[in-house]
Structure 1
Amino acid sequence: MEEIVARLGKNLAELRQNFRSGRTRGLVWRKTQLRAILKLVAENEDEIFEALNRDLGKHPAEAYRDEIGVVKKSAEYSLHHIEKWMAPKKGQLPLLLFPAKAEVLPEPLGVVLVFASWNFPISLALDPLIGAISAGNTVVVKPSELAPACSSFLARIVPLYLDNKAIKVVEGGSDVAEKLLEQKWEKIFFTGSPRVGRIIMSAAAKHLTPVTLELGGKCPIILDSLSGSDLKVTVKRISGGKWGACAGQACIGIDYVLVQRKLAPVLVELLQKCIKTFYGENIKNLNSICKIVNKNHFERVCNLLEDPGVAASIVYATVLHWLGCLILFKHLRLIEPTILLDPPLDAAIMTEEIFGPLLPIITLNDVEESIEFINARPNPLAIYVFTKNKTFKEKLLQETSSGSVIFNDTMIQFICDGLPFGGVGQSGFGRYHGKYSFDTFSHEKAILQRSFFLELEPRYPPWNGFKLEFIRLAYNFDYIGLLLLLFGLRRRYTSRTVI
């Protein structure tokens, strides 16, 4: 451990020295690093596929969609816009300061720390890194030890492509994370669970370090009355969102469905058909659904089904008709898509984030009851709503709070660089993607410049009614009133008070 601490200290000293040198502030350096990330993912695509398959069993198509494609899109978007983001923005000033000019200049924060999560171990390491680089920071990336193949890949490959004096990858478990948190950073960016998020925030408080916490939450689907082709499309999008993205191991993954009681049987039937189409019926041959990340998480997901009331609510599981069968698939770390209908609301499956391929369906008398249901629980990271009812859409937007709301699809918000991605309340705070990533890793510095010409004496004592009226008009940008006052054509109101 002493050796690890010494190495961390040496790395941090080098990062600070390089940041202070100003090398990372220039546009050329930033663009060079972003192009290097594009080159990294392009030249190592097959190795990334292999690492993701070893850690999570991701098919190359899923790996490209959720990992490589996300990184390429993000880097290209930043390359296209970074010069505009770096430019100072004109600031507006009160007339009382005339003549003067102001601008807002974004500047890098300094040395920042990025904790990546294991469920999307490539994109959740490189996407925040893109934001930190775009803003001109030096960076330490800590990959998750729960995805060892991807962590090893990043530690080996990143120094071959990126500026190793300004960007470093530090591997290790919780002991290394603890030592990293003891250091002083200008920003900590964390993706993971609320439990660890509290630890991060507590450690950051010692140095008053700002943090961005990308956490999770139980993200619901609200399904309104739909039929025909609309319902069939909805079921495909639910199935793809629940089981097609890391087998439900995603912070924005679907946690449960709220639906009117009369529609539940039809929904279950259509979901069953969709599962068979997407994934087949033999769990041993499932090559389009991810593995559970490790044995502990496998057992955690299985334990959610141990409650007798929960087990009794299972309405679809092609192979696993009793919990004893789970042992047969422990070595595969595969859990098939499973549907539950009205499990007990006080069971762990409805109070903890599932992070697995289990989908509870909760029935309601009326779709509008879903608002009260959601509001009785912590703020979700996302709410997915399938409806054509404009009035209900507006009501839901006004009466619920969540990181995002997506109508008539699932999980697509993650790939939208023009939208902020982040949570609210227990689902996290801070935001990133596109310009929002740049802002997250920047400080907007206010710059104000005044001329020595034309000193406005009404700013100074001794006070009188004329000066009061002058200040009042100046703050209200009342040019006509000021001219009238200066030429003696406007009454002086000394009885008014400034608000």
Structure 2
Amino acid sequence: MGIFSGRRAPAAPAAPAVPSAEETAVPSTDAAAAGAPGPRVNETVGRLRDSADSRLAHPRRFRAAQLRALERLLEEHAQDVLDALAADLGKPEVEARLSELDLVRAEIDHAQLHLTEWMEARHVRVPVAFQPASAKVEAQPLGLVLIIGPWNYPVQLVLSPLVAALAAGNCAVLKPSEAAPASSALLARLVPQYLDARAVAVVEGGAETSQALLAQRWDHIFYTGGDRVGRIVAEAAARQLTPVTLELGGKSPAVVVDGSYAAIARRLAYGKFLNAGQTCVAPDYVLAVGPAAAELEKHLPRAINAFYGKDPAKSRDYGRIVNRGHFDRLAGFLDAAAQGPGTLVSGGGRDAEALYIEPTVLAGVDVESPLMREEIFGPILPIIRVESFDAAVRFVNARPAPLAAYLFSEKPRLQSVFEDRVRAGGIGHNVCNAHLAVPGLPFGGVGPSGMGNYHGKYGFETFSQLRPVLSKTAMLDTLKAVYPPYGWAKTKVLRKLM
């Protein structure tokens, strides 16, 4: 029996080829296909390259001033940002403040507090054989960096890496997602008003603009989005041996073993249905051990009702799908699931004109269906019943490493085993999504969910060269012991010294 037996929703139009995650359109970057970069991109990149080469952004005073200016931008235009997010994604105001504005402000505050400390050289011990000498590690700015943002958090995921790039003393070109046009236009208007135009620029556009940008020479490329475009970005960067940070996605699992099921349901529902499910670290599916499945099937609908009411379409606190293409992709998941095994626990409603998909919980779906093979990136939560905790871990590890993995259990032993055996970009115990809001924790993926990380000091180091410096006087040549020829006595002394 299909999951919509008795209450099947009307079939949606066939889904076009739309990336499943938060991607910016970037077609092939083959040099012959891309052709010469556009004059606008050439001029912007050339101008900022001159600034980077002249070390404009290196001084601490300049970095601190840019961070303060970015802070003022967010303070003085908070409502403009909220309006843009509402236009692009139907984001509720409180949710937008928490997940976009407040997270960027936290990054700015953290960077301002620790900037001097991060910039200080770190001295290290020198072996006896090289004494007298001193050694240190200093954080040098990389130069000119490209930041390509996604559409699902179109302000936070452009400005958060920018905070790290500015703190590290770099110049930066920002490429917001064309799939969030209101947010992109707002950033293009406000950034030049607050930040030094010699150091930071916003370049808007679609696939051709992205092509032209990727054809340029960069000192680092920072991309947030889906793995399809992530591969294109990595390929383009490899041609010029440019280092990259890729913040991708994947099917982040939530394993539920034991605990207060009402509280677990609330935390799952909040993590999943935030931004209408369009969050890279949202729980993509639930592996419920034994009786946990029946408990969640009972408590999740209650949590959804408590959050959004009996009709979430009327809730001021529930967002919308970004565009028709992604709506059709999600509707296609639901239609395909309706033809297979499983049951509809709650939700299932949709409205194409309003880009609305009701918070939906499914149970007993086919684990080989598209719903379970592709990243959902929307407000659909499948519950899969498993026999044991070990079976859940095997299920997770049989699939590509996700951006996050969550365990709901109060047992320290299981938490320790989960950390030891599960490969994921980040781990959360008894809470979803929250680890990325802690500036002192690195945020990033592993394997297919990304490479590199940022936030706090980790972002500062991502956009820095940690350069070693060894200093030694030539007035006293204490290195004679290491010069050839090597007799038995000198060899014996060197082995002891080294």
Common fold, TM-score beyond 0.5? yes
Write the deviation string for residues 330-375 of structure 1: whole angstroms up to 9, x where unpaired. 1111101111112111110000000000000000111221110001
The DSSP-based 3-state class of the residue aligned with 2:486 is coil
C-alpha contact (below 8 Å) 1:309/1:343 kept by paired residues: no
Write the deviation string for residues 414-465 of structure 1: whole angstroms up to 9, x where unpaired. 1111010000000001000000110011001111111122524221122122
C-alpha contact (below 8 Å) 1:105/1:447 kept by paired residues: yes
Map 1:184-333; keep pairs closer than 5 Å. Answer: 184-226=217-259, 230-243=260-273, 245-308=274-337, 312-318=341-347, 320=349, 326=350, 329-333=351-355
Q: 1:56 aligned to 2:79?
A: no
- Alpha-carbon distance between aligned partners in 1 of 2:459 and 2:106, rounded to the nearest angstrom: 13
Give the match for residue 22 of structure 1: 55
- Alpha-carbon distance between aligned partners in 1 of 2:427 and 2:73, rounded to the nearest angstrom: 34
Q: Using CA pairs below 8 Å that are at least 6 residues apart, which structure has the higher relative contact order?
A: 2
Map 1:279-428; keep pairs closer than 5 Å. Answer: 279-308=308-337, 312-318=341-347, 320=349, 326=350, 329-428=351-450
C-alpha contact (below 8 Å) 2:308/2:315 kept by paired residues: yes
- Alpha-carbon distance between aligned partners in 1 of 2:268 and 2:339, rounded to the nearest angstrom: 21
C-alpha contact (below 8 Å) 2:289/2:392 kept by paired residues: no
- Alpha-carbon distance between aligned partners in 1 of 2:151 and 2:54, rounded to the nearest angstrom: 34
- Alpha-carbon distance between aligned partners in 1 of 2:392 and 2:295, rounded to the nearest angstrom: 19
Q: CA deviation at 1:261?
A: 3.4
Q: Unpaired runs of 5+ in structure 1?
A: 321-325, 476-499
Q: Which amino acid aligns with 1:467?
A: K
- Alpha-carbon distance between aligned partners in 2 of 1:214 and 1:13, rounded to the nearest angstrom: 27
Match of 2:480 among 452, 457, 476: 457
Shift in alpha-carbon separation, 1:241–1:347, aligned structure 2, 3 A: same
Write the deviation string for residues 77-104 of structure 1: whole angstroms up to 9, x where unpaired. 1011111111111122221111111111
C-alpha contact (below 8 Å) 2:330/2:378 kept by paired residues: yes
- Alpha-carbon distance between aligned partners in 2 of 1:388 and 1:139, rounded to the nearest angstrom: 44
C-alpha contact (below 8 Å) 1:381/1:423 kept by paired residues: yes
- Alpha-carbon distance between aligned partners in 2 of 1:284 and 1:94, rounded to the nearest angstrom: 67
Give the match for residue 478 of structure 1: none
Give the match for residue 470 of structure 1: 493
Structure 1 stretches (4+) deviating beyond 3 angstroms?
1-4, 308-312
Q: 1:32 aligned to 2:65?
A: yes
Larger radius of gyration: 1
- Alpha-carbon distance between aligned partners in 2 of 1:385 and 1:263, rounded to the nearest angstrom: 13
- Alpha-carbon distance between aligned partners in 1 of 2:280 and 2:55, rounded to the nearest angstrom: 36
Write the deviation string for residues 246-299 of structure 1: whole angstroms up to 9, x where unpaired. 111111011000012322122111101111110112243032111000000000
Give the match for residue 140 of structure 1: 173
Count of aligned positions: 464
C-alpha contact (below 8 Å) 1:15/1:138 kept by paired residues: yes
Give the match for residue 74 of structure 1: 107
Match of 1:176 among 192, 209, 220: 209
- Alpha-carbon distance between aligned partners in 2 of 1:347 and 1:88, rounded to the nearest angstrom: 53
C-alpha contact (below 8 Å) 1:281/1:318 kept by paired residues: no
Q: CA deviation at 1:471?
A: 1.1
- Alpha-carbon distance between aligned partners in 2 of 1:368 and 1:109, rounded to the nearest angstrom: 44
Q: What is the aligned-residue identity percentage? A: 38
C-alpha contact (below 8 Å) 2:442/2:454 kept by paired residues: yes
Q: Which amino acid aligns with 2:443?
A: F
- Alpha-carbon distance between aligned partners in 1 of 2:364 and 2:249, rounded to the nearest angstrom: 23
Q: Unpaired runs of 5+ in structure 2?
A: 1-33
Q: Which amino acid aligns with 2:482?
A: R
The DSSP-based 3-state class of the residue aligned with 2:389 is coil
The DSSP-based 3-state class of the residue aligned with 2:428 is strand
- Alpha-carbon distance between aligned partners in 2 of 1:163 and 1:311, rounded to the nearest angstrom: 56
Q: CA deviation at 1:182?
A: 0.7
Q: CA deviation at 1:22?
A: 1.8
TM-score by length of 2: 0.91
C-alpha contact (below 8 Å) 1:111/1:137 kept by paired residues: yes
Q: CA deviation at 1:4?
A: 7.2
Give the match for residue 115 of structure 1: 148
C-alpha contact (below 8 Å) 1:378/1:426 kept by paired residues: yes
TM-score by length of 1: 0.91
Map 1:92-171; keep pairs closer than 5 Å. Answer: 92-171=125-204
Shift in alpha-carbon separation, 1:319–1:254, aligned structure 2, 3 A: closer
RMSD (Å), alpha carbons? 1.5
- Bigger shift: 344-353 or 263-272? 263-272
The DSSP-based 3-state class of the residue aligned with 1:25 is coil
Q: CA deviation at 1:66?
A: 0.4
Shift in alpha-carbon separation, 1:363–1:2, aligned structure 2, 3 A: closer
Q: Which amino acid aligns with 1:436?
A: Y
Q: CA deviation at 1:15?
A: 0.5
- Bigger shift: 89-98 or 128-137? 89-98
- Alpha-carbon distance between aligned partners in 1 of 2:310 and 2:403, rounded to the nearest angstrom: 32
The DSSP-based 3-state class of the residue aligned with 1:413 is helix
- Alpha-carbon distance between aligned partners in 2 of 1:130 and 1:330, rounded to the nearest angstrom: 37
